[in-house]
Structure 1
Amino acid sequence: MQLSQTIPKPLDPLRLLWVHRFLIRQLVERELTFKFKRSRGGLLWLVLQPLLLLAGYTLVFGVILKSRWGSTGTGSSAEFALIMFAGLIFFNFFSAVVSVAPGLIVHNKPYVQKMVFPLEVLSWSTLLSALINGFVSLLIWVVFSVAIRGYVPFSLAWLPLIVIPFAMFALGCCWFLAAAGVFHPDIEHLIPMLMLMLMLLSPLFFPVTAIPEHLRFLFDFNPLAYVLEQARQVMIYGSAPDFGILAAGWVVGLLFAWLGLVSFVRNRDGFADAV
């Protein structure tokens, strides 16, 4: 399925995944294998990386800085790490997709020269690779939750309804940035700084309620803030998500995926000359 230069249909982002599922699976397998090809640990690093990250944040914020969640300062250092790591799963997933996106086409130049190769699937393989890493981190979080609290809330079953639209939003951003990065190479250097700003303006290390009232408007324009808050509702507090916010998230996620694909397809003819 090679999309024409006409405007893609709203369901084309999902249709691409189905039609090219075998090719995408091969690309994901190649990406994960190549990433750890020269390491002795191999795919074991998929587990070790988030595990070491969790241990590092627990040591720094929980033990050394003795940080506690919220204004009351209650809870243990392990509970703080559990809450923080829940948010980091989503931020690291989004960062993994967006950080790679600007150089996605440039770094896969041989595929650009093949007219029959569906370049759109590169964003899907990037997204799914990041999702696999995120899923491994989630499993580690589940084990950590059982070790600290003795249980995992049943509300965790709501998590896919939060993850799927967020993944579609990230996919749309990936298509946008992949196309833009071909013609504007500086974007590849700008994204790391923007991701750092996004991390600082996201409720990763503190709840939204800890932010002064007159500054909360900064978080109203941060889509990641809503995702983190809803994820913690189901992962930490054991309650259902806000279905109003959830519905808006689905609309925004699917819309961004479609618009990102439209941008990518409309600019694809110029990729070969630009790279």
Structure 2
Amino acid sequence: MSTYIQNFIKFRPLLNELIMRDIKTKYRKSILGVFWTILNPLFMMVVLSVVFSNLFKFDIEYFPVYLLSGQLIFNFYNEATTSAMGAIIDNGPLIKKIYVPKYVFVLSRIFSSSINLLASFTALIFVMLAMRVELHYTVLLVPIPLFFIVFFSLGVGILLAAITVKFRDIMHLYSVFVTALMYLTPVIYPMSILPEWLEKIVLLNPITNILMMFRDVMMNNTVPSVSSILLAAVEVVVVMAAGLYVFYKRQDTFILDI
């Protein structure tokens, strides 16, 4: 374990450079640059709020805030895991030239997405203040669900990065999977409209539990229950263990498959 820690400390400057490179690459030649991390969720919130609040008449107080909070969690998962999936392939030329701990490339994608997550969270706070949504003391507990979604995404990202090097079709299949997953996550709709059988399926989605926890502390003035925290912790540990195991087993063959 000490070897891994020393290795991480040794290559931390490289990790910082990779994170900055990922952010600069994403917003290269963009006039507004990183401001799009705030504007994008706001524009999507406006469009979806107009469509769904009028089309489906959801009886949700402060529906734009409800919608933006769902977007914040799910969009981070989507962006982080999708970008992490190609981390090893995209950095193939560097991996072939020098020794670098390969997990650093995955970490850089997750951490750069985490910066966007914080920007989106700032946008959510602005919307809540603009709509005069009361900010309760439970907002101070928001690091709990954010911690879970970041490390859950890290576990999935590490797993995807490892297997995508060998099986490139996953890059195309995953976009279909994420689309289906979005409809199985209460981003847009309330759980109350679901039939019992479908509600049980949606609750099996790990992101649902984290998202509900996030909305509880942000909107509902509710402290996350011990059961929801334990469930999220178990899901994160399982996904991280699976991702690290597969990554460790396959990392020596990456150079052959890139």
Tell me, in whole angstroms, the C-alpha distance in 1 between the residues paired with 2:208 and 2:11.
33
1:84 maps to what in 2?
Answer: 67
Tell me, in whole angstroms, the C-alpha distance in 1 between the residues paired with 2:193 and 2:7.
42
1:56 Cα shift?
A: 2.1
Contact 2:16 2:108 in 1 (8 A): yes
Moved over 6 A (4+): none
Going from structure 1 to structure 2, the CA distance change for 1:66 and 1:259 (only over 3 Å counts) comes to closer
Contact 2:138 2:222 in 1 (8 A): yes
1:245 maps to what in 2?
Answer: 228
The answer on 1:254 being equivalent to 2:258 is no
1:223 maps to what in 2?
Answer: 206
Contact 2:162 2:246 in 1 (8 A): yes
Tell me, in whole angstroms, the C-alpha distance in 2 between the residues paired with 1:87 and 1:100.
20
1:196 is aligned, of 173, 179, 182, to 179
2:126 is aligned, of 138, 143, 158, to 143
1:32 is aligned, of 13, 23, 26, to 23
Tell me the C-alpha RMSD between the 2 structures.
2.2
2:45 maps to what in 1?
Answer: 54
The gaps in structure 2 that reach 5 residues or longer are none
Contact 1:123 1:175 in 2 (8 A): yes
Deviating more after overlay: 189-198 vs 129-138: 129-138
1:115 Cα shift?
A: 4.1
Contact 2:42 2:68 in 1 (8 A): no
Going from structure 1 to structure 2, the CA distance change for 1:143 and 1:16 (only over 3 Å counts) comes to farther
Tell me, in whole angstroms, the C-alpha distance in 2 between the residues paired with 1:195 and 1:216.
19
Structure 2 residue identity aligned to 1:213:
E
Which secondary structure does the structure 1 equivalent of 2:131 belong to? Answer: helix
Tell me, in whole angstroms, the C-alpha distance in 1 between the residues paired with 2:211 and 2:6.
28
Tell me, in whole angstroms, the C-alpha distance in 2 between the residues paired with 1:240 and 1:171.
25
2:35 is aligned, of 44, 54, 61, to 44
Percent of residue pairs identical: 26
1:6 maps to what in 2?
Answer: none
2:14 maps to what in 1?
Answer: 23
Structure 1 residue identity aligned to 2:183:
L
Tell me, in whole angstroms, the C-alpha distance in 1 between the residues paired with 2:158 and 2:124.
30
So what's the TM-score if we normalise by structure 2?
0.91
Going from structure 1 to structure 2, the CA distance change for 1:16 and 1:218 (only over 3 Å counts) comes to farther
1:34-86 Cα deviation digits (max 9, x unpaired)? 11111222222222222222222233223x52632xxxx253xxx11111110
The gaps in structure 1 that reach 5 residues or longer are 1-8
Aligned residues: 258
Contact 1:167 1:253 in 2 (8 A): no
1:111 Cα shift?
A: 2.3
Structure 2 residue identity aligned to 1:204:
V
2:114 is aligned, of 118, 128, 131, to 131
1:72-108 Cα deviation digits (max 9, x unpaired)? x253xxx111111101100000000122233221122
